[in-house]
Structure 1
Amino acid sequence: MKNKKLKFSLTAIVFLVTIAVFSQGQSANLLLDAFYAKVKSQKNPQIIDARGSDEFGLNHIEGAVNFNLKSDDFEKRVIALNPSKPVFIYSIAAYRSGLLAAELGKRGFAEVYILEGGIASWIGGGKPFYSNLKTKLTLAEYNKILSENQYVLVDIGSRYCATCKTVKPILESLRTQYGAKLKIIEIELEESPQVIADLKNVKVFPTLIFYKNEKIVFKKDGLGDLKNDVDTALASK
């Protein structure tokens, strides 16, 4: 008898949780290829750039609209969406897009998808994007730097990325320690989006790549223990 009651209770809990989840809509983080495929499957995809207006003005996914929870016209923007159709959201990382996705879920939107890695993943994966900038660094110039220097450390990020800012003092320390032996390149999305797209190997900000004789020794998606990794790479023969 006790087992039957326990079984009934567990079934009831699962049922209630299921109702709660579906009443708030479905939300999921998707990697680039899955996100892109779902976007392309829609005739008029609802894409939201959850970054600030200044970020959006520099570059964004083509067809995206720009707003987030702090936008003055937030309610107007939400009303303009169709809650029965998928909504695709991205930002720099997952914070602003995650908050927006959660709010749309509470409002009954059926499907809400967040791009894992945000705009870094989209542009870094070579997908089409809008930019009002002429890239500061070209791929040809990038490759020329690699060919002219034995050791090169590349820092790829955005001025709007909080984690990216923590990389800067480490780079300065490495410059002081190694001098001309180590060439350091800093690439920002806001200055050179096209070279990030041309590299086709950036998934998140920051991305750190260490080269020796034009060959990648290591690539880091995120900061990690950068100084130790560089020290180890330069100490090896």
Structure 2
Amino acid sequence: MLEISDTDFDEVVRNNRFVVVDFWAPWCPPCRALAPVMEELSKEYEGRVQMVKINVDQHRVKAKEYGIMSIPTLLFFREGKLVDRQVGAVPKSLLREKLEQLIGK
């Protein structure tokens, strides 16, 4: 999974049809639990959904802009527009369902 910054966030979201952004921090146990699930899904959906992560400790601008109050938080973008969000570590099956909804519409 690609690590992005506040600087390239907009470009990544704008230049990919479907994007999932994982707001995380290394000290966050639920973030660490979600990381391998996101890596697996990133491989499963390679070429269809761009999955990226952004460290909220190092890159606070976008976290503030999108009102990230708790981590992990996933933001789902379709054609540059925020269409869904998921707060907290959730099962892979739920994330797969959300991804199918994202690319299916």
**Hey, what does 2:37 align to over in structure 1?**
170
Instruction: Rate the CA distance shift 1:207–1:165 in 2: closer, same or farther, 3 A.
Output: same
Task: Tell me the equivalent position of 2:9.
Answer: 142
State the alpha-carbon separation in 2 of the partners of residues 157 and 164 from structure 1: 6
Instruction: Give me the CA root mean square deviation.
Output: 1.8
Count residues in correspondence.
Answer: 99
Q: Secondary structure at the match of 1:209?
A: strand
Consecutive unaligned residues of structure 2, counting only runs of 5 or more, are none
- How many angstroms apart in 1 are the aligned matches of 2:81 and 2:75? 10
Residue equivalent to 2:86: 220
1:195 offset after TM fit, Å?
A: 2.9
Q: What is the 5 A alignment of 1:31-46?
A: none
CA contact (8 A) 1:170 1:227 kept: no
Which of the pair is proportionally richer in strand? Answer: 2
Question: Structure 1 residue 180: deviation in Å?
Answer: 2.2
Q: Does the CA contact (< 8 Å) of 1:208 and 1:223 recur in 2?
A: no
Identity %: 20
* Structure 1 portions without partners, runs of 5+: 1-135
Secondary structure in structure 2 of the residue aligned to 1:154: strand
Counterpart-to-counterpart distance in 2, 1:193 and 1:216: 18
Aligned residue for 2:26, secondary structure, equals coil
Cα offset for 1:166? 1.5
Match of 1:50 in 2: none
TM-score of the pair, normalised by structure 2: 0.81
Q: Structure 1 length normalisation: TM-score?
A: 0.39
1:176 positional shift: 1.5
CA contact (8 A) 2:13 2:80 kept: yes
Partner of 1:35: none
Q: Where do residues 174-189 of structure 1 align in structure 2 (5 Å cutoff)?
A: 174-189=41-56
Change (3 A) 1:200 1:152: closer
Pairwise CA distance, 1:141: 1.9
1:232 Cα deviation from its structure 2 partner: 2.8
Q: Which of these two proteins has the greater Rg computed from alpha carbons?
A: 1
Q: Which has the higher contact order (CA 8 A, sep 6+)?
A: 2
Q: Which amino acid aligns with 1:218?
A: D
Structure 1 residues 181, 229: closer, same or farther in 2, change over 3 A?
same
Hey, which bits of structure 1, 4+ residues long, moved more than 6 A?
Answer: none
